[in-house]
Amino acid sequence: MRAALISLVRNEDLQGIVSSMRQLEAVWNSKYNYPWIFFNNVPFTEEFKKRTQAETKAECRYELIPTEHWEIPDWIDPTKLNNSIRNMELKGVKYASELSYHQMCRWFSGFFYRHPALNDIRYYWRVEPNVKFFCDIDYDVFRYIGDNNITYGFTINIYDDPNTLPSLWPETMNFTSKHPEYLNPSNSLDWLTDSSLRPDKHMIANGYSTCHFWSNFEIGDLQFWRSPAYGAYFDHLDRAGGFFYERWGDAPVHSIALGLFEDNSRIHWFRDIGYQHTVFSNCPDSPKCTGCRKNRLAPVTFWLNGEDCRVNWFRQVCKSDQSNQRHSNLCLDYN
């Protein structure tokens, strides 16, 4: 398969990415030897290259992000940006003042799939530093999504901080009103707009539930991001300035686009891939998995289970199945 493991990582994150690589190689990639492609906005050090290549028998590539894909665009007003950052800080928005975080979110939203290093790649698995993998994976996930016509795969589905994106949904509605042709008949609008479980988030986000696929784990088909619908959507959002005046994340941007422009039958929950990033995890009840608390979204802090958005997703899939007279395993299990 024309596929690769990709990571946007800084030189100073070496220990974290080595840890992630070691685990993913052990449970999966040592069987398939897909290449690793690392991206950075500054050149990688020789130590970074040597240490990461030592973790895998697969090819490692080290790529520099073009300046024009990373720098703050010229239509962002510096005064407005500084005022916006102060307002976000008053609301407790995490990473509000870290411009590199804003740049990272924008790059993953609209530029990673345009990098020349991915020109010949169709499928990707995004890997971040300091993540954990708990389960032995005994099949080629890239071949699986190709054979099953899957556009996007996720493990964790949670709510976002609505203070990071109050204008994202209004801007999205502005875009779709101009381009209704991009809406998929089997979209996930109910999942995107549900207010029953977290009405507080829905209100602050101006109609968006804030449900999103946590994009620090993504297995996907690059053709979706390269499509006319997504390209036009990203360009609209980019010009609106919310990646800097607010703190729009690539996770809600990706999720909204998938939820509106893709058939939800092509979005797959990799329930069998044990995974953890910070406090959230996906831990299957399987003999192939060790080292995690089974069926717990937040194994350390129980109250964070209130951030789980999977119930909304299951409802969405079931509703779409009923409308289209389909019978997916996910809906059968949920019922």
Out of 25, 55, 171, 218, which one is annotated catalytic? 218
- Amino acid present at 233: Y
**Distance from C-alpha of 1 to C-alpha of 41, rounded to nearest angstrom:** 28
- What's the gap between Cα 335 and its chain centre? 27
CA distances from 39 to 5, 14, 181, 292, 317 (A): 11, 13, 34, 30, 34
Active site residue 46: no
- What's the gap between Cα 143 and its chain centre? 20
Enumerate residues 6+ apart whose C-beta is below 8 A from 141: 28, 125, 153, 219, 270, 273
CA distances from 185 to 19, 82, 263, 268 (A): 42, 41, 7, 18
Q: Are 230 and 224 in contact (CB under 8 A)?
A: yes
For the record, the structure tokens of 151 come out as 């556009």
**Distance from C-alpha of 22 to C-alpha of 315, rounded to nearest angstrom:** 36
Q: At what angle do helices 228-240 and 250-261 cross, to 10 degrees?
A: 140
Enumerate residues 6+ apart whose C-beta is below 8 A from 121: 2, 3, 4, 37, 222
Q: Return the active site residues.
A: 218
